Amino acid sequence: MADGTVAFALERIRDFLTQQVNIRIGVKDGVRWLKDELGYLQPARESVLCGIGKDIEILKKRITVIKKRRNEYVISIHGMGGLGKTSLATKLYNSNELSHFDTRAKVCVSMDYNIKDVLKRLIKSFMGLEHEKELSKMDEQDLLQHTRKLLQGQGRYIAVIDDIWDIKAWEVIKIAFPNDENGSRIIITTRNKKVAETVDDKFTDLRLVCSDFREDPMPTLGDLPNLTALELDSVYMGKTMVNSHNAFPSLQILRFIDFPELEEWQAEDGAFPSLRSFQKTDCGKLKKIPVQLERFWTED
């Protein structure tokens, strides 16, 4: 169990370091929180950023229901990168409400997956590292059948299959899981809504918590070091914005929509070091943008 948990954590660290986090913000759907896939909150202003308690409670209620309905086999959590899908799935996996399962495993698929590798890691998470030598000799079909046979003798199982990008991966991986209608459960996370809808017609759709910014949003959002794409839509009615010298270190794409009162925008040297695209639409009073953004600027 400990080896499987450590391996899973390392996978998520690797994936998060290369992950693009896209944030879309509007008047009624502005950001109050941004939570990464490892389950910790970046230290920005707590008055603007908050947790994901509502979604956890919804999923916990569903857990209570599925324990009584054995035919509900797969639970899907959908949302864009950075919304905390992995964190939610892990909280479910570790919750007291799921302590009745006889065996459990967690595995990350990711975009550049290899089915054999995923299946090997899945088996090791279920059974431990002692099977590693035996698994190295198996092809994909052998691994699928081996996993299925192992689980058929283990009672009720729970598995977290994290970060599935396409339905083809799921169609293969699901073969490894017997559905004996004994209360076993699979929790998958995905950024692909088609995957979520296909495997679970009651899937959980994670969204950003609503809030508009009464103050300049840039100091808050600029503190998020992994943010790579940001669209601000009708979120701020102020006249001025300021960016510090170290703001948005990873941001590559920035778009402003409908900032009708914005007149002045200042950015210190060193802000937006990674930017490659900036667009603004319906920002009629903003006549000058920071010099760092001029060569990337296009206007709709």
Residue 261 confidence (pLDDT): 92
Provide DSSP, 102-140: SEEEEEE--SS--HHHHHHHHHHHHH-GGGHHHHTT--H
Provide DSSP, 2-20: HHHHHHHHHHHHHHHHT--
Q: Does residue 184 or residue 1 have the better pLDDT?
A: 184
242, 218 contact by CB (below 8 A): yes
Write out the H or E segment, with its range, that includes residue 55: helix 53-66
| Alpha carbon 193 to its chain's center | 13
Average pLDDT, the chain: 75
How is residue 86 written in tokens? 């992995």
Please give the sequence-ordered ranges of beta strands (E in DSSP) within 123-199, or none if there are none.
157-164, 185-190
Q: Does residue 83 or residue 282 have the better pLDDT?
A: 282
Global confidence as pTM = 0.58
Strand-pair partners of 78: 190, 205
Residues contacting 87, CB < 8 A, separation 6+: 35, 36, 37, 38, 39, 52
Out of 5-9, 201-205, 244-248, which region has the weakest mean confidence (pLDDT)?
Answer: 5-9
Give the range with max mean pLDDT: 19-33, 71-85, 124-138, 202-216. 124-138
